[in-house]
Amino acid sequence: MRAAVVKVGGHVLFNGLELDVEYAKSLCAELRRALELYDGLVVVVGGGELARKYVAWGRALGLNESALDTIGLRVAAVNAALLWAHFHGTSPPEVPSSVSEVVAAVPVWRVVFVGGFQPAQSTTTVAALVAEAVGAERLVLATDVDGVYEDDPKRNPKARKLEVATVDELERMFSGGVRAGEYRLLDPLTLAVIKRSRVETRVVSGKPPSNITRALMGEPVGTLIRP
């Protein structure tokens, strides 16, 4: 079975706390196009600003990091259920919450939408783990930037985009711990999974969503990550 995995960041899918409805429709249309190339697709959806809001509210209430992570995971699962219902035109079953559940769902649904799995694990890590489990040919990380930069391009407009980057380079760039609701573009666990699975990975801008299809087709868009 030819399979691919796409991670769509919540900041791509939402404008603040509002769903970008037209983008969601266009994204699903592009995923249907991608089914001409693949037998199965897994789409991992981030929690977005709403998840970060809940995490901030929980932190103000004194909740610990595990509880905050769990709340963020619930929000991402709701986002996944929303896209599932739109794409398939039917209420989704329980959104998969483990690698084994995803593996079982792909042959049945062909396109499966998921959120997060467990505390202290970003949805980007989930995407890498699922890509490894289903033997994905490609992993596409759709974000609000058009690739990986040497520095944050939102703060440093002179930052240079990397057309190709190795995992070792990125491990140095993205080292350090993470807190609930504050996962960065890439994190150490995601990079470790990419290194061991050796899945072809691209970081692309999620807008327009045709960038995702182009990456799934193997076009040189965004940043290629080499294990």
DSSP output for the chain: --EEEEEE-HHHHEETTEE-HHHHHHHHHHHHHHTTT-SEEEEEE--HHHHHHHHHHHHHTT--HHHHHHHHHHHHHHHHHHHHHHHHSS---SPP-SHHHHHHHHHHHSEEEE---STT--HHHHHHHHHHHHT-SEEEEEESSSSEESS-TTT-TTPPEESEEEHHHHHHHT-S---TT---SS-HHHHHHHHHH--EEEEEE-SSTHHHHHHHTT---SEEEE-
Q: What CATH number is associated with residue 173?
A: 3.40.1160.10
Residue scoring higher pLDDT (184 or 127): 127
SS (H, E, C) 169-192: HHHHHCCCCCCCCCCCCCCHHHHH
Is the Cβ–Cβ distance between 109 and 31 less than 8 Å?
Answer: no
pLDDT by residue (tens digit) across 28-56?
999 999 999 999 999 999 999 999 999 99
Q: What percent of the chain has pLDDT over 90?
A: 82
Q: Is the pLDDT of residue 158 over 50?
A: yes
Question: According to the model, what pLDDT value does residue 21 have?
Answer: 97
Q: Please tell me the least confidently modeled range out of 46-60, 78-92, 150-164, 186-200.
A: 150-164
The per-residue pLDDT of the chain, averaged, comes to: 92
> CA of 156: how far to CAs of 68, 115, 149, 152, in Å?
31, 31, 10, 6
pLDDT (mean) for 168-173: 89
Per the structure block, which two tokens stand in for 206? 């999620």
Number of separate domains in the chain: 1
Q: What is the pLDDT of residue 120?
A: 85
Q: Which domain holds residue 134?
A: 3-226
Overall residue count recorded for the chain in this entry: 227
**pLDDT digits over 124-154, tens only?**
999 999 999 999 999 999 999 999 998 888 8
pLDDT tens string 58-80: 999 999 999 999 999 999 999 99
